[in-house]
């Protein structure tokens, strides 16, 4: 009953990453860059960008983002606006630079936290050492409170 209302289109599907190198080289549009990226990532697990100028930067980066589930491409679009002669190498440099900036910021944050924790522990140990020297705590109690063995505590305190 519904057959007259259903279209019978023929669809040819291609797995772009599995195309032959010769077929990929036949593409003339920016799609060639995407196909090359997918092919290289499948074959080499690494991408070496060429010096082909991207004609439609926004569209290619959005497509790259959608095809790879890597939203860093999409985040880079604003940085590329208004630039002429953008290559994939430049786009990936921007993506990498943003990743490095985030990594450095995260490293600083973790370093500060670790420094604070270390400072607190060292301060606690210094107080425990004073208590041991004053005869208020035994070495074993102080070591236990510092979360160390007695031998570690003695090394730490040079006792």
pLDDT tens digits for 82-104?
777 888 888 877 777 777 777 78
Q: Which pTM does this prediction carry?
A: 0.54
Burial of residue 142 (CB within 10 Å: 0-12, 13-18, 19+) is buried
CA atoms lying within 13 Å on the CB side of residue 79? 15
Q: Which of 56, 43, 53, 61 has the alpha carbon at shortest distance from 87? A: 53
Q: Is the pLDDT of residue 79 over 60?
A: yes
Q: Is the pLDDT of residue 118 over 70?
A: no
Q: pLDDT band for 24, please (50, 70, 90 cuts).
A: very high
Q: pLDDT band for 119, please (50, 70, 90 cuts).
A: low
Q: Is the pLDDT of residue 18 over 90?
A: yes
Q: Is the pLDDT of residue 121 over 70?
A: no
Residues 29/34/37/39 CA torsion (nearest 10 deg): -90
């Amino acid at each position: 009953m519904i057959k007259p209302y259903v279209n019978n289109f023929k669809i040819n599907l291609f797995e772009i990453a599995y195309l032959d190198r010769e077929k990929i080289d036949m593409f003339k549009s920016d799609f060639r860059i995407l196909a090359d990226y997918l092919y290289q990532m499948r074959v080499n697990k690494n991408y070496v960008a060429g010096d082909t100028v991207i004609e439609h930067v926004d569209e290619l980066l959005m497509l790259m983002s959608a095809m790879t589930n890597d939203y860093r491409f999409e985040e880079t679009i604003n940085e590329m606006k208004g630039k002429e002669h953008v290559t994939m190498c430049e786009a990936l440099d921007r993506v990498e630079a943003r990743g490095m900036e985030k990594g450095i910021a995260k490293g600083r944050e973790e370093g500060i936290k670790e420094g604070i924790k270390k400072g607190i522990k060292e301060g606690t140990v210094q107080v425990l050492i004073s208590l041991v020297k004053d005869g208020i705590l035994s070495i074993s109690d102080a070591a236990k409170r510092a979360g160390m063995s007695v031998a570690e505590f003695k090394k730490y305190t040079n006792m």
